[in-house]
Amino acid sequence: MPGSRLTIAQVSDIHCGHVMFDGELLTHAVDEIVELGPDLVVVAGDLTSEGYAPQFRQAKRFLDRLGDLERVVIPGNHDLMNVGFLHFRDSFGQSDRVVRVPFSNQNGSEPEKFATVTAINSAKPDLAEGEIGQGKYDWIRASYKWPDDYRIFILHHHLVPVPGTGRERNIVWDAGDVLALLDELKVNLVLAGHKHVPNVWQVGEMLLINSGTASTHRVRGYTRPSFNVIEVTEDRVRIVHRYPGLGEIVAATYQRGERRLSLNPQLAGMWNRGAWNV
Ligand SMILES: [Fe+2]
Ligand SMILES: [Fe+2]
């Protein structure tokens, strides 16, 4: 795959309809993603505040502005409130799905490298906690059927606690089993939202990447609204936090050959220091 690159915009927790939703932030985020033109846009759940139909329609109006960009949208716990999964389905279709996304080639030639992207609904109606459930493991296993593909898994909830988010109380119930399954399947990236604080962890050869809230002021401590831009090339993965309308900062770089993750020391503990340079 020399010269090929996969660019992903990872957005979550836009929470349309919430009193702290900020349409200006989401407009900036969508405009910036359109300008970037990534290979894939991931919307990792919590599109709404309470799962009401007008809130889904508002989210859809914003996301429709992404035009032809390939996207994977899953629901979060807020979207399943008030039987909201019906409205999610009406606006965004099936939540559990597998798509195959080609890497872009620098020279514009035919794609040689692909990513298998498996997305699953980890939310449960009217509960903040998440679960994948043993019944879905075989489906997940079968989804990674292209042995040479880069492997991405998407869910709303976190599999490992996120720093700066207070008491841990709604991690995925079967997080240990899911981590073991994804490790067995040699998944490269796990993308999630839910806690409204961006983070990157390395577990084995897997990167667990959380996005913050893109368009609300429901942040924790000094965290700012943000989304992630992830670039995968042959030798590295680069994770950028982008603050809609304000700028961006490289959060972490992973050297694939050495399996080494370097976190930006400037961001360490930022949720309680709050010394921002962007
Ligand atoms: Fe959320
Ligand atoms: Fe959530």
Q: Which residues of 19-30 are buried (b: 16+ CB within 10 A; e: fewer)?
A: eebbeebbebbb
State which CATH number among 3.30.429.10, 3.50.30.40, 3.40.640.10, 3.60.21.10 fits the domain covering 4-273.
3.60.21.10
Distance 257 CA to ligand 1 centre (A): 34
Contact by Cβ (8 Å): 203, 185: no
Q: Residue 176: its pLDDT value, please? A: 96
User: What spacing in Å lies between the alpha carbon of 147 and ligand 2's midpoint?
Assistant: 32
Q: Domain extents for the chain?
A: 4-273
- CA dihedral angle for residue 41, residue 176, residue 207, residue 114, rounded to 10 degrees: -50
pLDDT of the residue at 254 = 97
Q: Which positions of the chain have pLDDT values less than 70?
A: 1, 270-278
User: Which ligand is nearest to the Cα of residue 14, counting in written order?
Assistant: 1
Q: What is the pLDDT of residue 278?
A: 44
User: How much is the pLDDT for 271?
Assistant: 64
Spacing, Cα 256 to ligand 1 middle (Å): 31
Whole-model pTM: value is 0.96
* Tens of pLDDT, residues 115-128: 999 999 999 999 99
CA 7 to chain centre: 13
Q: Are 193 and 9 in contact (CB under 8 A)?
A: no
196 Cα–ligand 2 center, Å: 8
Q: Report how far apart, in Å, the C-alpha atoms of 160 and of each of 49, 206, 233 are.
A: 24, 12, 25
Task: Give the model's pLDDT for residue 245.
Answer: 96
Q: How far is the CA of 146 from the centre of ligand 2 (A)?
A: 31
CA 86 to ligand 1 center in whole angstroms:
19
pLDDT at position 274: 55
